[in-house]
Each structure stands twice: as C-alpha cells, then as structure tokens.
Structure 1
Amino acid sequence: MCHAPRKEYHRKFLSEAFPVESHLHHNLHDHMNAEVVCGVVENKQAAVDYLTWTFMYRRLTKNPNYYNLQGTGHRHVSDHLSELVETVLDDLESSKCVVIEEDTFLKPLNLGLIASYYYISYKTIERFSSMITQKTKMKGLLEILASASEYAELPSCRGEEESIETLVRHQRFSAENSKNDDVHVKANALLQAHFSRQTVVGNLAAGQREILLPAPRLIKSLVDVISSNGWLSLALKAMELSQMVTQGMWDRDSMLLQLPHFTKELTERWQENGIESIFDLAELSADKMQNLLQLPNSQLKDITDSSNGSRISECRMKSVKVMILEPVAL
C-alpha cells in the first residue's frame, strides 16, 4: 500500500541490491588531518596510498560519475586521487592545521592537533582562530561558538522563522543585522534560551538538543585556542561559558539555580532572607529550610544531597582558580 508512482521504486528496492556509496570525499579534510596528527600519513605519497585502502577507492571505478571521475582507467584513478590529495592538503595548510615542508612532507600544527583531539571540523577551528581576539566579550564568544560548522546541518523547518525572531528579541544578546533563516542565528538564540531556561517546544526543542550535544567539546577547543595565545582572562571567560552550557544558567545568575527544584522566583525569595550561596544554604537547619522552601520531603532531600556535593565542587573550583591566578615560585 503506497503512492502509485512510487510502487515501482519500492518493488525494485525490495527485490534488487541497493548500491552503497562512500562519503569519504565529502569529509576527507578532517580524516586526513587526523591521520597526519597520528603520524599515519607523513607525506603526500602516503596520503594517496591511504586512500587506496578505503571503501571509496573500491567504488571509484564502479560508479565514476558519482565521484566525478573522468574515466575508469588506472591513469584516470591515479590522477584523480593525486588531485584530490593536493586540494585537501592545500586547504589544510591554508587553515593552519598542517604545514607542507619541501612540498612533500606533512607536519601537524597546533590548530590541527586541537581539531583532531576534539573531533571537530578544520573549518570550525580555523573560524575560531580567526574570529577570537583578546578583547572578545561573552557576546562575541557566543557568536563564535554558534558559528561552528557543526551547526551548519541543523534541521530547518518551514515557517519557524517567526518563532526564531521571537526568541532573538527576548534574549540577553540580540543578533544585529541577522537573518532568522540562518542556522547560526538559530543556534545562538537556542543557546541563550537554554541559559535563560526558556521553554522551547517541538522542532526547536529537538534542535536545541542537537546544539547542546557538541557544545562542550567545541568550547574546550575554543579554550585551547585562547590558551595558545596566552589570554588568561578570556580563557576563564570561555570556561564560564562551558559552565553555563552544563548548568543551563547565565554567569550572572544566582548559584542557587544549580540546585534541583530551584526556580528564579524561589531564588529571589531566598536572597531576600539573606541566603546568597550554597554555603549559606548548607548552614540552615532542616526545619528552617523546610519553612522557606515549602517543598515535599523527597525534593528537599534532593536539594540537601546536591548542596553537599556542590560545596565540594565550589571549593575545588576556588582552589583551581587560585592555582591558575597565583604564580608558583620555582
């Protein structure tokens, strides 16, 4: 039971073998960068030899049009692979991920090492390096994070531009001169909605989950790029951005929002009673905590357990900051 014009297609799909093609040539830059970093590919000839061991090489002569191959002869395949390797390595060199010595030997650079370690695109690490400056603020860090090429394939649904425009208007940092159908503007808006704990539904909620999934490793790579330039204050700000993603809150929000069952209204009420931090909360008696919270015992237990763990984490974070900020005498 199917649409009549599709019947023949489904019948062929069920009764005949369906060809599977390689997509390696669409992502070869990142694979080649990783192999150079690992030391598997040390020169251009090794890069060509590497391709001969791939599934793409097996399919080249079987379906030449799919791979833009001009002919199926050995010379055509050899020229195609050599040209492909030259193009990929030139792109990697221009993005400062790889250096080509004596027009043959390949050496990884710092950006290439970072991209390979965190498994991110060479385009993303190049964009991070070119956009970041010592004077970048939190708004700029968010824009840089949202510009990652990993977000270029975000699903876009028809008619969601109005919802994205509403999101952009109600966020802390507005996107100036931006198009609401741009996936990077969408990523920026959904990240800020996550920090504000603003509820999004439907396709936007699914898109937000896809944005948050790679965000921690993208930020870690951004921290490494910043650290390579020796910008301490900016590196700490990028680490704060990582905490914002994990905790779902802005850096200016109360630390009490890290605890389960806490809302902004409840946090404001606690601050009126002089409770500013998790340490203040931990010093309260159980009866006074219950009177202020007015929550079920099960939720109260969750808050108590989390506050004890958060005190340890907060002490560790303070000690880490002291280690970073205070020079050690050697």
Structure 2
Amino acid sequence: MARFDESTGYLHITDLGRVASQFYIKYDTVEVFNQFLREAMTEADILSVVSQSSEFCQMKVRDEELTELDELHKMCEVPAAGGVENLHGKVNILLQSYISRVKVDSFSLVSDINYISDNSVRITRALFEVVLHKGWPLMAGRLLTMAKMLEHQLWHFESPLRQFSRLTQEILDKLDNSRLTIEKIRDMDAKEIGRMLRHEKMGKDIKAAAWQFPLLELEATVQPITRTVLRVKLSIIPDFK
C-alpha cells in the first residue's frame, strides 16, 4: 500500500493504499485481496473474498447457531465456501441470506447479519475501485453488480420491482417467473399485465411502479473539431415519474 525510499526516507502511497485509506480497509484485508483477487471470478468467488475480510474476524461461530445456519445454507443461491463451522463460511451464508431477505430467528445471528451488512458494501466498493485501477473491466462490472445487490438486497436475476413494498410476495414471484422487464411492463396495458400474472387488479399498480423506476434516455451528438479532438454533446433526459 506504500513504497519506502531508503535513500531519501520518503514514503509514497500507491493506488491500493489510497483505496484502502478511502474505504477504511484494514491492512489484513488488503492482504486477503492480494492473495485471492483474480482477473476472472464468479459470484461465489467474490462472496468468498469478501467473507474472509479481517473486518469480520471478531465474530464467532456459536454451537447453538449451527442448526439455523445449516437451514440458511440450504437456501443459498451459490455455494458458500467454508461451510457453517468456519467463520468465513458463516459470514458468506449470512451475506447471501441478507441479499435474499431471508428471515433469521436467532438473536445473535440477527446482530451478526446487521454488522455484516454494514461492512460488506464498503468492502465490495473498495474491491471495485481496486480492480478499476488494475484495468480489469469484467471484474469491475461483476463487483459493481455485487455492491448493488448488497445495497438493495436484491439478486441481479430478480425483478427490480422487489424494491416496492406495496407489491406482494406472490406478485413478485410471478414477475420473476414471467421474466417481465421494466421496459416490457411499460409497453404493456395494465389489463394485459393483470391477465398475464392472473391478478387483474394488480396490473395498474405494477404498471405505476414500473413508471416510478428511474430510467434515463441518453442522446449523444459527436462533432469532429480537429484531427485529434472531438466535441461530444450528451443529453440526459429523465424518463420516469
């Protein structure tokens, strides 16, 4: 994170050190980043790296939590490396439970999941900045998606309309199964949406929610000025209520 010049006595910060400072990342966690971060990683790999961060090292795996952790593990979307008996496995399971909005019963697990949720977004955002500096576009996209999933408690394959509390779980499940995008819902008639989901009364509410979802229209014009200079004019128009 820093370079020390013995001849002059000067200390120079690196990009990695700057990111760690900005996001309050411990040096032990940076060591984990250096050890496990690669140019191509799956969601399971990313969750594994985040769960091994030293920010969670003061947590414990308690015997009375193992049964519930086993049940939560079965509901995980991706395999949780480490399993229920290891600390990083427990953190991984609770991270996925948090994204999935699974109800946790044990008081100690509720406390742990709140602590994990407070720190995981910051760590994931730091990882995003690290790979940006490394010039890894594929990983940058995946880490940004992971950060947004943690912020919104929403898997990327689920309907973004899950953020609207007025829509029932039954309707949200039907939206996921039908794979209706925000754009498709906007183009459809309220009655058509209701018939498709077999709940005609909700068609109007779903369409209204789709129009409240923030989308933007982008219009760009490019004009050459010289052989090496372009003028780019970008218009950003809000397309939502």
TM (norm. structure 2) is 0.75
**Which residue is equivalent to 2:214?**
311
Distance in 1 (alpha carbons) for counterparts of 2:117 and 2:36: 21
Residue 197 (structure 1) aligned with residue 95 (structure 2): no
Cα offset, 1:142, TM superposition: 0.7
Distance in 2 (alpha carbons) for counterparts of 1:275 and 1:170: 21
> In the alignment, which of 41, 44, 51 is matched to residue 146 of structure 1?
51
**How large is the Cα RMSD of the aligned pairs?**
3.0
> In the alignment, which of 15, 29, 40 is matched to residue 135 of structure 1?
40
Cα offset, 1:160, TM superposition: 1.1
AA aligned to 1:149 is S
Cα offset, 1:184, TM superposition: 1.5
Check the 8 A contact 1:98/1:106 in 2, yes or no: yes
SS at match of 1:311: coil
Taking every aligned residue pair, what percent have the same amino acid on both sides?
Answer: 21
Cα offset, 1:151, TM superposition: 1.1
Indicate how the Cα distance of structure 1 residues 246 and 116 shifts in structure 2: closer, same or farther if over 3 A, else same.
same
Cα offset, 1:284, TM superposition: 5.1
Indicate how the Cα distance of structure 1 residues 172 and 275 shifts in structure 2: closer, same or farther if over 3 A, else same.
closer
Check the 8 A contact 1:129/1:225 in 2, yes or no: no
**Which residue is equivalent to 2:5?**
101
SS at match of 1:160: helix
Indicate how the Cα distance of structure 1 residues 110 and 271 shifts in structure 2: closer, same or farther if over 3 A, else same.
closer
Distance in 2 (alpha carbons) for counterparts of 1:149 and 1:238: 19
Indicate how the Cα distance of structure 1 residues 284 and 190 shifts in structure 2: closer, same or farther if over 3 A, else same.
same
Residue 187 (structure 1) aligned with residue 94 (structure 2): no
Residue 220 (structure 1) aligned with residue 125 (structure 2): yes
Check the 8 A contact 2:99/2:150 in 1, yes or no: yes
How many equivalent residue pairs? 215
Cα offset, 1:118, TM superposition: 0.7
Check the 8 A contact 1:111/1:126 in 2, yes or no: no
AA aligned to 1:307 is A
Deviations 1:176-216 (A, max 9, x none): 5x353432211100111122232112221221111011122
SS at match of 1:106: strand
Indicate how the Cα distance of structure 1 residues 107 and 230 shifts in structure 2: closer, same or farther if over 3 A, else same.
same
Deviations 1:91-116 (A, max 9, x none): xxxxxx11111163211112111110
Cα offset, 1:286, TM superposition: 5.8
| Structure 2 unaligned regions, length at least 5 | 220-228, 231-241
Residue 114 (structure 1) aligned with residue 114 (structure 2): no
Distance in 2 (alpha carbons) for counterparts of 1:171 and 1:183: 16
Distance in 1 (alpha carbons) for counterparts of 2:214 and 2:147: 19
Matches within 5 A, 1:41-52: none
Matches within 5 A, 1:239-254: 239-254=144-159
Residue 211 (structure 1) aligned with residue 116 (structure 2): yes
Check the 8 A contact 1:275/1:281 in 2, yes or no: no
Cα offset, 1:221, TM superposition: 0.6
Check the 8 A contact 1:226/1:235 in 2, yes or no: yes
**Which residue is equivalent to 1:36?**
none
> In the alignment, which of 63, 77, 83 is matched to residue 172 of structure 1?
77
**Where is the helix percentage greater, Structure 1 or Structure 2?**
1
**Which residue is equivalent to 1:233?**
138
Matches within 5 A, 1:267-282: 267-270=172-175, 276-282=180-186
Cα offset, 1:267, TM superposition: 3.0
Cα offset, 1:310, TM superposition: 1.7
TM (norm. structure 1) is 0.57
AA aligned to 1:266 is I
Check the 8 A contact 1:279/1:311 in 2, yes or no: no
Cα offset, 1:289, TM superposition: 6.4
Cα offset, 1:287, TM superposition: 6.4
| Structure 1 unaligned regions, length at least 5 | 1-96, 320-328
> In the alignment, which of 9, 28, 50 is matched to residue 123 of structure 1?
28
